[in-house]
Chains A and B, each alone.
Chain A
Amino acid sequence: VPPTCDWRKAKNIISSIKNQEKCRCCWAMAAADNIQALWRIKHQKFVDVSVQELLDCDRCGNGCKGGFVWDAYITVLNYSGLASEQDYPFQGHQKPHRCLAKKYKKVAWIQDFTMLSRNEQAIARYLAVHGPITVTINMKLLKDYQKGVIKATPSSCDPQHVDHSVLLVGFGKEKAGMQTGTVLSHPRKPRRSTPFWILKNSWGDGWGEKGYFRLYRGNNTCGITKYPITALVSLPVKKLPISCPP
């Protein structure tokens, strides 16, 4: 496992931050971002895939009322791929629309999807070699989050109560003493370097660290290892054309 990995630094792999507004579709946005990033890595093609197709064609038909990333992947398999965002744009309306997937040419597709082992080292290795994956976490501490690395305990952030899906795009280590003065003076704050995950949220770029946030890596903070799920795109190649920038 490399010491750091940040897919945001690779050109044209991670798309801009989405904003789900009043539509509870974090699961669809995370899955679409996952497929999009893998397609760009494996096929070296810049695609922008439709979130709305995942909402309208989901087998549960819940649209903006919530869902799960695994249902999004099943939709992509059932409809043999995803239309482009341009053809089938995100509406964010509350009630699901009739599924229009069959109307549009597919710009990306997947062969399958898989769940990784609940081990943060293994997840980091997979992320660095294959690309970004989706994770589902307890979002309780995100409402008031501004920046920095959140390190929680099971009592402050129940790892069993996961209710928000996001895209895992990298990991790193924050050197000790990089915190602002106020934080250092606090007895509970870490004196050693802090390993962290980098996660892409879908609440707009006015939230968090320009739409991203960081969680402590190594103690299953907020249940990050509960559902590490990713699409499988194209043939497993021996050597990836590019690997994760350090």
Chain B
Amino acid sequence: DYLLTKDAGPRPLELKEVFKLFQIQFNRSYSNPAEYTRRLAIFAHNLAQAQRLQQEDLGTAEFGETPFSDLTEEEFGQLYGHQRAPERIPNMAKKVESQEWGES
């Protein structure tokens, strides 16, 4: 509820319509009403965050609904981020012998 009242840019009624369109566009369905409500809250939060990114961006980027709008930051990071690149590249364990150019 807190998320919905705090973050929902559009009026709750509109938000649900927007969310319905999102589900159709990205073929999303949720296993039960509680999961639906939770995803709706995450969706509202992400839309509000997109508006904030829009304000902060110094370029010409536009932010808003994407295929990931019903995911939390953590879920998104787990799905798409690879392990964090180290501060410096680990030294290569083995030197590649110089080969004749052009050979396989």
A residues contacting B by CB (< 8 A) are: 20, 22, 24-27, 59, 62, 65-68, 70, 74, 77, 80-81, 106, 109, 111-112, 115, 136, 139, 141, 143-153, 156, 160-165, 174, 178-180, 183, 186, 188-190, 194, 196, 203-204, 206-208, 214, 216, 226-227, 234-235
Contacts and interface: CB of A to CB of B under 8 A. Distances in A.
B contact face: mostly helix, strand, loop, or mixed: loop
Interface residues of B, number: 42
Contacts of A106: 104
Contacts of B71: 143
A220 B64 CA distance: 24
29 contacts: A24-B79, A24-B81, A25-B82, A68-B82, A68-B85, A109-B104, A111-B99, A115-B89, A143-B66, A143-B76, A144-B66, A145-B66, A146-B62, A149-B59, A150-B57, A151-B58, A151-B59, A151-B61, A156-B57, A163-B83, A174-B60, A183-B60, A188-B55, A189-B57, A194-B59, A203-B80, A207-B68, A216-B58, A227-B85
A146 B79 CA distance: 19
A203 B104 contact: no
A147 B67 contact: no
Most buried by A among B59, B68, B83, B93: B59
A156 B82 contact: no
A70 B61 CA distance: 30
A167 to B, nearest CB: 15
Nearest to B96: A77
B81 A179 contact: no
B58 A145 contact: no
Interface string B13-53: 00000000000001000000000000000000010011001
A115 B57 CA distance: 29
B66 A148 contact: no
